[in-house]
Structure 1
Amino acid sequence: MYMQISAKHVKELRNKTGAGMMDCKKALQASSGNIETAIENLRKQGLASANKKMNRIATEGLIESYIHSGSRIGVILEINCETDFVARREEFQTLAKNIAMQIVASPSVEYVDLKAIPDNVVEIETRIISGKDDIINKVDEIKEKIINNRLEKQLKELSLLDQPFIRNTDITIAELVKQNIVLLGENIKIRRFKKFILGENLDL
């Protein structure tokens, strides 16, 4: 027999995961009200569901912009979904706004994901890391492991999808997008973005 779950707990789980109300209620009932277990199970279900949709073509969507307080930095973002119906939904528009704000709040981010980072950038970062004083004299096997670990960390700092979400640091932007794929039932892709920083690249 399923236990009774309060609307407050259902809403709390929904806010943390982005899953539907009924899915949240069922997850809480199945976990005997344990919200952490419910979150874990919903993430597993959502990941499987989202992965099935992620190869579908997404050509609709919207262009979102965000200018930070003080008007010294802003961003323009293109985010895609499959239909105009979903593009007009409040949840999709909120996602777009949150991601635009995330880009502005992430000064190191330059690319949508790791795959978008050019080879020459990877090569430069690898050379810089390889020349650090604390590893230059280590044996090759250990040195290679250190370089790979530091390179992965450095490249993730450049990747938007690998950033912890500023409104819920328990998840990454990639996980946030997947949650919304499950919620809205369509593939969602962050296609591109452009930052604008006041005075950047001006010759003084």
Structure 2
Amino acid sequence: MNKISIEDIKKLREKTGAGVSDCREALEESGGDMKKAEEGLRKRGIERAAKKADREVRAGAVFSYVHHTGRLGSMVALACETDFVAKTDDFVKLGKELALHVAASRPESVDVLLGQEYVRDPAKKISDLVKEVIGKLGENIQVVDVRIVEV
């Protein structure tokens, strides 16, 4: 087995936001293959998300997007367990990405949204995007509501 370098662990950690030990373990399991290690970490995040799905969400934020024409806007209510997580860059980025996606794809409901392909990466569903952030932040996150306003 190849020795895993600290530089590789650092690169993987910067890309994924996963912990040092998780990155080292993923690189060891993948034989040093960065892409396989990323995929392994993504799968672990989805598994962790499933374990957190029943936990109550009491905090969160509403995110919006207004198209450059000013004639279309979208809002997404995103809930999490604590105010601390609601203020993290990853949570805010997820909220903004979801608001942009809602404006582009115009889902009729939260369920429809979660089943859609992500506009920036069609190989990924929106539900997978949310699960990845759950795995990264360690808290349950739920899309509570979506709205589209158009003139």
What TM-score, normalized to structure 2? 0.86
Quick check: which one's strand share is greater? 2
Q: Secondary structure at the match of 2:39?
A: helix
Deviation string 1:86-126 (CA, Å, 9 cap, x unpaired) is 1111111111001000101103x11111xxxxxxxxxxxxx
User: C-alpha distance in 1, partners of 2:105/2:77?
Assistant: 17
User: C-alpha distance in 1, partners of 2:129/2:23?
Assistant: 16
Check whether the contact 1:74–1:195 (CA below 8 A) recurs between aligned residues.
yes
Deviation string 1:72-98 (CA, Å, 9 cap, x unpaired) is 110121110001111111111111001
| Residues 12 and 179 of structure 1: CA distance in aligned 2, closer, same or farther (over 3 Å) | same
Q: Secondary structure at the match of 1:161?
A: helix
Check whether the contact 1:13–1:35 (CA below 8 A) recurs between aligned residues.
no
User: C-alpha distance in 2, partners of 1:70/1:169?
Assistant: 25
User: C-alpha distance in 2, partners of 1:43/1:97?
Assistant: 21
- Identity over aligned pairs, percent: 37
Structure 2 stretches lacking a partner, 5+ long: none
Check whether the contact 2:18–2:136 (CA below 8 A) recurs between aligned residues.
yes
1:111 alignment partner, one of 109, 116, 120: 109
Matches within 5 A, 1:3-22: 3-4=4-5, 5-6=7-8, 9-10=11-12, 13-14=15-16, 19-22=17-20
Q: Is 1:26 equivalent to 2:25 in the alignment?
A: yes
Larger radius of gyration: 1
Q: Is 1:160 equivalent to 2:107 in the alignment?
A: no
RMSD of Structure 2 on Structure 1 (CA): 2.1
Q: Secondary structure at the match of 2:110?
A: coil
1:75 maps to amino acid: S
What TM-score, normalized to structure 1? 0.65
User: C-alpha distance in 2, partners of 1:7/1:69?
Assistant: 40
User: C-alpha distance in 2, partners of 1:186/1:57?
Assistant: 10
| Residues 111 and 50 of structure 1: CA distance in aligned 2, closer, same or farther (over 3 Å) | same
| Residues 103 and 29 of structure 1: CA distance in aligned 2, closer, same or farther (over 3 Å) | same
Number of residue pairs the alignment of both structures matches? 148
